[in-house]
A and B are shown apart, each in its own frame.
Chain A
Amino acid sequence: MIPMSKIAVIGDRDSVLMYRTAGVTVFPCANAEEAGEALRSIAREGYACAFLTENLAGELQPVLQELGHAPLPAVSLIPSGSGSLGLARARLKRIVEKAVGADILFQEGAGKHE
């Protein structure tokens, strides 16, 4: 049992500023490179939970996958201020494909939306 851990929010300045009110640690990053650095340092410093804005996540897939195999930290994607890009959905879809061998969930999901 790890007693108390912190939560981090990483993203471009405009998207993550509002999380300051929620009692989490905010890492404003100008570009994907900085965000990658922030992600790695978060993993080192024992944060349990991190949120990354989607607009920076696109180029950080390798880092995300690397962190995906470790039990902590749990990195999740959140939409940036300009709205959802659907990357988080795509990520979930990829996980399903990996486990099941075929995408069975999002097909029915897509059917419902249309």
Chain B
Amino acid sequence: MEIRVNATRMQLLRTRKRLRTAVRGHKLLKDKRDELMKKFLDLIRRARSLREEVEKELSLASRDFVLAQMAMSREAVEEALMSSASQADLKVRMVPAMNVRVPEFSWESPSMTAREAYPYGFTTTVSELDRSASILAGIMPKLVELAQVEKACELLADEIEKTRRRVNALEYVLIPRLSETVRYITMKLDEMERGNATRLMKLKDVVRAKGA
């Protein structure tokens, strides 16, 4: 590795200072990476179990829905669902987590009077449709949480990758290079010092020889 610096005491001090900063930064970033990783692993576990749950229940809901479609004809189901339910509201908050802004959702279920929970007439529909709707209404909060957790995982993964790159750059490039520079300058200065000492001794010999 090429080191292009002037071997001076000033430069030595400056480089030492940079090295100290780099080492400190490296330690901090490493801590950040570890903490991010801990959070990430928790989130991933949560995402996995949520997904399993949600997929199981969604398949139940869609099975009932298919049954309803078979019993009622597709057109009838579509017609029944023309008037959509009252819009559900989703509260969103951005929560900072280790310098990453992660959205947090809270599901506000629409007010559940029977009329609104099942936004269709009961005379023309079959019970499978109701069952599908109620399973779905039950699963929605979990579905929203799943979306939130997966999003958080995605964002954290980005951040972890970035932090890891920085840690590695410091550990394997900047810090070795700086300590190499410090070594180079110290050696050079020592060498100059020794050269000076020899020259002085030599001179002394010459002066003494002349005086004698």
Contacts and interface: CB of A to CB of B under 8 A. Distances in A.
Interface stretch (B3-11, B136-144, B175-183): B136-144
Contacts of A79: 55, 58-59, 62
Interface residues on A, range: 35 or more
Please report whether the interface of chain B is mostly helix, strand, loop or mixed according to DSSP: helix
Interface string B146-162: 11101101111110110
A92 B164 CA distance: 20
A111 interface: no
B103 to A, nearest CB: 6
Contact of B90 (A4, A19, A75): A4
A21 B137 contact: yes
B146 A19 contact: no
A79 B62 CA distance: 10
Interface residues on B, range: 35 or more
B136 A19 contact: yes
Interface string A11-38: 0001101111111111000000000000
Nearest to A106: B48
Contacts of B66: 81
B136 A18 contact: yes
A78 interface: yes
B17 interface: no
A50 to B, nearest CB: 8
A63 interface: no
Contact of B92 (A5, A75, A100): A5
A60 interface: no
B143 A51 contact: yes
B132 A21 contact: yes
A22 B110 CA distance: 9
Nearest to A48: B92
Contacts of A72: 92, 103
Q: Closest 8 A-B residue pairs measured CB to CB?
A: A23-B88, A74-B151, A99-B157, A21-B133, A76-B147, A18-B65, A20-B81, A99-B160
12 contacts: A2-B94, A7-B90, A22-B85, A48-B92, A48-B103, A48-B105, A50-B147, A71-B151, A74-B151, A76-B151, A98-B161, A99-B160
Given A21-B81, A23-B86, A69-B154, 14 more contacts: A1-B94, A2-B94, A4-B89, A20-B119, A22-B85, A25-B87, A74-B147, A78-B54, A78-B143, A92-B153, A95-B157, A99-B160, A100-B40, A109-B48
Interface of A: 1-7, 14-15, 17-26, 48-51, 68-69, 71-72, 74-76, 78-79, 81, 83-84, 88-89, 91-92, 95-96, 98-101, 105, 109
